[in-house]
Amino acid sequence: MILRHGAIHAAFVAVCLVAALWLAPGLYAFSPDTYAARSVLSSGRWVKIKVSNSGLHLITRDRLRQWGFSDPAKVAVYGYGGFPISDRLTLAGYTDDVPPALTEMTPEGIVFYAAAGMKWKADYNGRIDRERNYYSDEGYYFITETDLHPERTVVISVRAERTVATGLPGVDGEAATTFAAPLLHERELVSGGNTGHTLLGEDFSRNRSQTFSFALPDNAGGELWLNCAFATKTVGGSSSVRFSANGTALPVTEAAVIPSTPNDLESHYTLREIDATAEVAGERLDLTVTFTPEASVRLARLDYITVNYRRRLRLRDGYLSFSSSTPRMSLEGVGEGTLLWDVTDAASVKPIRYYADGSRALWTATE
């Protein structure tokens, strides 16, 4: 009986396997030359660093010497950071080995762009929301002394002529002077269920009205857009989420009413994204979120809030990160040592060539 059962089981697996191979669409493998013969990490001396925020990072000359690098001019940075990658494996999005990062040697040390575990992504409406790496908040990079890939490492003085890589100096026509600036409030405090990668934030089950403050530097005015992701489990009735901006109640949308969640072990909570718009003057937004249940509350927590507002394209405090759907741009507040980098692809950062008109930088994107 045991042998017969085993034979039937083996035949069943074989039939299923043949059927799967027959029905599976588009099975293929990458060519062997897709893969590096050996990793750059396989030899040499390396220092691994962690970054918690996306943006420009400075490694000072003193720090490089402390890490054992005697010649900063030969120091290179490798890595693609912590941005989430697609679950679909394609050649277009595949990187086999850690790539070299664009660096700039300045009198203070080496500057490079690093990506942490969250990035901004625009939807078809041009609104910008966050895309998170649910498995790491940080990005990691590797530092070494090497002569490999010298074309990927820019070692110049801040006063030297800028490297030509992308963009055309000047603009032909009207240039953008503002951009959609995204802001985020998110705290990952608890898991709302027994599975899944989503972590939820502030508890609204008792404190049902809470205020969250956002700085709006260089606010150009106009309509502000916000998106609030809110998780609830109410049994026997619905609940609602409402907003006020700087003391002014915002219009209620249909999405603000969250239906009840089934009272069973499989339904942990209902997660709803709620949009709203507001007119805000000045450089501060105090957003009050109010939760109103109509039934017994088992769970009520904020997931995250994103805000988009129109911000002037102006260099403030020496650094600005921005994006634009318009190819022609005008940036205020530049000086002789201002550098512009295109960081659309964090693994392939490029310098931008621009025309300096007094304290303005003018350029037209070419990619």
Instruction: Please report the pLDDT score of residue 313 as a whole number.
Output: 94
Instruction: Please report the pLDDT score of residue 47 as a whole number.
Output: 95
- 278 and 271 in contact (C-beta within 8 Å)? no
Phi/psi for 152 (5° steps) reads: -95, -5
Q: What is the DSSP letter of 39?
A: -
Residue 365: pLDDT band (50, 70, 90) is: confident
Instruction: Please report the pLDDT score of residue 206 as a whole number.
Output: 93
Residue 64: pLDDT over 80 = yes
Residue 344: pLDDT band (50, 70, 90) is: confident
> What pLDDT digit, counting tens, does each position of 278-320 carry?
999 999 999 999 999 999 999 999 999 999 999 999 998 888 9
Candidate ranges 10-14, 123-127, 238-242; pick with highest mean pLDDT: 238-242
More confident call, 350 vs 245: 245
For the chain, give the mean pLDDT.
83
Instruction: Please report the pLDDT score of residue 16 as a whole number.
Output: 38
More confident call, 46 vs 99: 46
Q: How is residue 37 written in tokens? A: 């013969």
Each residue of 171-209: b (16+ CB within 10 Å) or e?
Answer: beeebbbbbbbbbebbeeeeebeeeeebbbbeebeeebe
Instruction: Please report the pLDDT score of residue 126 as a whole number.
Output: 82
Instruction: Please report the pLDDT score of residue 10 as a whole number.
Output: 37
Nearest one of 363, 360, 364 to 333, comparing CA atoms = 360
Q: What is the mean predicted confidence (pLDDT) over 66-93?
A: 85
Residue 270: pLDDT over 50 = yes
Q: What is the mean predicted confidence (pLDDT) over 76-105?
A: 83
Instruction: Please report the pLDDT score of residue 297 as a whole number.
Output: 92
Q: How far apart are the first and last CA of the chain?
A: 68
> What pLDDT digit, counting tens, does each position of 33-49 carry?
888 888 888 888 999 99
Q: How is residue 322 written in tokens? A: 């921005």
Q: What is the mean predicted confidence (pLDDT) over 341-356?
A: 85
Residue 253: pLDDT band (50, 70, 90) is: confident
Instruction: Please report the pLDDT score of residue 165 as a whole number.
Output: 57
Q: What is the mean predicted confidence (pLDDT) over 65-90?
A: 86
User: What type of residue sits at position 65?
Assistant: R
Q: What is the mean predicted confidence (pLDDT) over 316-342?
A: 88
> What pLDDT digit, counting tens, does each position of 201-235 carry?
999 999 999 999 999 999 999 999 999 999 999 99
Residues for the chain: how many in total? Answer: 367
C-alpha–C-alpha distance, residues 193 and 310, integer Å? 37
pLDDT above 70 covers what percent of the chain?
87
> What pLDDT digit, counting tens, does each position of 123-182 carry?
877 889 998 888 888 999 999 987 754 434 443 333 233 344 576 787 778 899 999 999
Instruction: Please report the pLDDT score of residue 26 as a whole number.
Output: 59
